[in-house]
């Protein structure tokens, strides 16, 4: 008996998009405040739900590759990219949970995202599915998000490697020494001048001034924006697919 799991695919895409977008925003806010512990907390907190979604997506994609009874290339169009999506989420979740380098998951996302855009464009060009252009927007949204995950994860890794706040140090702040007068000026009564020992306050060591570069913020926020657009596209497909999915018995 055939059971159409396409709507469930879309739901997992929506959940993953919301989770990744939220983690991206929380990490960016923590980086702006130079809060390394906040970045680690945001990443570890989302590892379990992202890992769960990634595991479910991987299992569903493997099942679709093997058991999808539809003729032609529709199963390939859907499940090839969906399998890459699930594996990428699993790798990302493990890296987040164990504080490993995220850049390897980002590189996997870059390759998977490029493949997703190619699949979406070819599916649109061939007129596959009832809404080929909307399908291309969905694939492109997650595809560009995957591509941008590479620089975003590299930046987060660089920041986490410098918990002392020097990751994006911008200049230094040096307290200047203040010298007290070495003599006391006589008053109007022409009091004699009395020399005193000069005292120099010890200078403090240079401390880095932390300021998150604009390019870093733009990279992270553009990544989050594409994730949000992809989630919106998934939500659109869910809204258009749900009535027919519930009304049609398997």
Domains and CATH numbers, the chain: 6-173+204-247 (1.25.40)
pLDDT of residue 135: 86
pLDDT of residue 66: 84
pLDDT digits (tens, 9 = 90+) for 200-223: 555 555 555 678 889 889 999 999
CA distance 101 to 107: 11
CA distance 61 to 65: 6
Average pLDDT, the chain: 82
Tokens 């769960």 belong to residue: 52
Judged against a pLDDT cut of 80, whether residue 231 lies above it is answered with yes
3-class secondary structure, 171: strand
132-160 and 74-97 helices cross at what angle (nearest 10)? Answer: 20
Judged against a pLDDT cut of 70, whether residue 166 lies above it is answered with yes
* Residue 70, φ and ψ in degrees, nearest 5: -70, 140
pLDDT of residue 172: 45
The residue with greater pLDDT, 60 or 208, is: 60
Residues in the chain: 250
Judged against a pLDDT cut of 60, whether residue 149 lies above it is answered with yes
- Closest-CA residue to 247 (of 56, 4, 21, 73): 4
Stretch 44-50: mean pLDDT: 96
**Least confident among 84-93, 128-137, 211-220, 238-247:** 238-247
Confidence of residue 183 (pLDDT cuts 50, 70, 90): very low
Stretch 97-107: mean pLDDT: 95
pLDDT of residue 156: 93
Within 8 A by CB and 6+ apart from 72, the residues are none
**DSSP, res 179:** B
CB-CB contact of 210 with 165 (8 Å): yes
- Which among 29-33, 104-108, 246-250 has the top mean pLDDT? 104-108
């Amino acid at each position: 008996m055939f059971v159409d799991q396409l709507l469930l695919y879309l739901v997992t895409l929506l959940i993953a998009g919301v989770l990744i977008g939220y983690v991206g925003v929380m990490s960016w806010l923590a980086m702006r405040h130079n809060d390394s512990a906040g970045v680690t907390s945001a990443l570890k907190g989302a590892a379990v739900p992202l890992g769960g979604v990634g595991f479910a997506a991987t299992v569903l994609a493997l099942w679709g590759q093997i058991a999808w009874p539809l003729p032609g290339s529709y199963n390939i169009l859907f499940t090839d990219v969906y399998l890459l999506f699930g594996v990428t989420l699993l790798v990302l979740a493990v890296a987040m949970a164990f504080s490993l380098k995220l850049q390897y998951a980002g590189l996997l996302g870059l390759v998977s995202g490029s493949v997703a855009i190619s699949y979406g464009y070819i599916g649109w060009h061939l007129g596959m599915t009832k809404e080929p252009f909307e399908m291309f927007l969905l694939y492109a949204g997650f595809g560009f998000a995957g591509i941008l995950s590479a620089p975003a994860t590299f930046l987060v890794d660089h920041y986490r490697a410098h918990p002392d706040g020097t990751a994006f140090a911008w200049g230094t702040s040096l307290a200047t020494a203040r010298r007290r007068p070495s003599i006391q000026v006589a008053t109007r009564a022409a009091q004699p001048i009395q020399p005193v020992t000069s005292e120099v306050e010890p200078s403090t060591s240079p401390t880095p001034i932390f300021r998150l570069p604009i390019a870093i913020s733009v990279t992270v926020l553009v990544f989050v924006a594409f994730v949000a657009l992809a989630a919106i596209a998934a939500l659109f497909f869910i809204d258009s697919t749900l009535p027919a999915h519930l009304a049609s018995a398997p």
